[in-house]
Structure formats: structure tokens, C-alpha cells
Copies of this chain bind each other. A is one copy, B any other.
Amino acid sequence: MTGSWLDDVRWTAEGLVPVIAQLADTGRVVMFAWMNRESLQLTAEKGYAVYWSRSRQRLWRKGEESGHQQKIIDIQLDCDEDVILLKIEQIGGIACHTGRQSCFYRSLLDGQWQSTEPVLKDPKTIYK
């Protein structure tokens, strides 16, 4: 029966599923990415988020360069079985490659996307 929970997921034609990552403590949504079957299985096994990079077409062990890994607290599936929600603990407190806590740092204000949150760490010092 190994992997039967993976069969419950309705993968896209490309074999992917969209994934939302949310901080387990505050509920802040920090990232959106994709997984394939292997990356979801690895995520569950290892307890750290592993995504599928569509641009690089390879497994992307979140934090592999930055050290900003995402420790898994809970893995949830939606009613249509085609979206995954991760409750995570964000190592280093930074999920975004811009050096911010969250990738969602811009709000629509007065008809423009405006940044509402500071850069916590210069990306140049995150990615050597």
C-alpha cells in the first residue's frame, strides 16, 4: 500500500500539483510552488519541503542554497484533491528569494502594487 496516499492526489497533465506554504504559528502564507510525485513523497519522508522547479526542471530542495529550509508540521489536501497546503516552520525566517519573510509582500493600494514589508536580509548574502 506504500504510496497510496500519493495516488489520491489529482496530478496535472504534467504530473504536478500546486502547493501553498503557510507558517504553522502565525498563519502567514509565505510561498506558492509546485510538486511532482517524487517531491511530495520526499517532503513527507524527510519532513522538509522539496518542490519541483518548473524553470529548472529538477527537484528543488527548498533551502539547498540559502539554508532556508521549511520544516513540515502538517500536509493538507483540498476538497478536489488537486491542491496541497503545507504548514511549516520557516528556518531562518525568510521564505522569499528577495530576502523577505514572505513572497507576498505587495498589496494593491491606490491602483498600484506597493511593497508593504522590508527586506530582512540582502539576497547577495543569502545566495553565494
Contacts and interface: CB of A to CB of B under 8 A. Distances in A.
Given A79-B103, A80-B103, A103-B78, A108 B5 contact: yes
Contact of A98 (B26, B79, B103, B107): B79
B27 A26 contact: yes
A20, A26, A105, A108, most chain B CB atoms within 10 A: A108
Copies per complex? 2
Contact of A27 (B4, B28, B75, B76): B28
A106 B77 contact: yes
Interface residues of A, number: 36
B44 A108 contact: yes
B85 A105 contact: no
B32 A108 contact: no
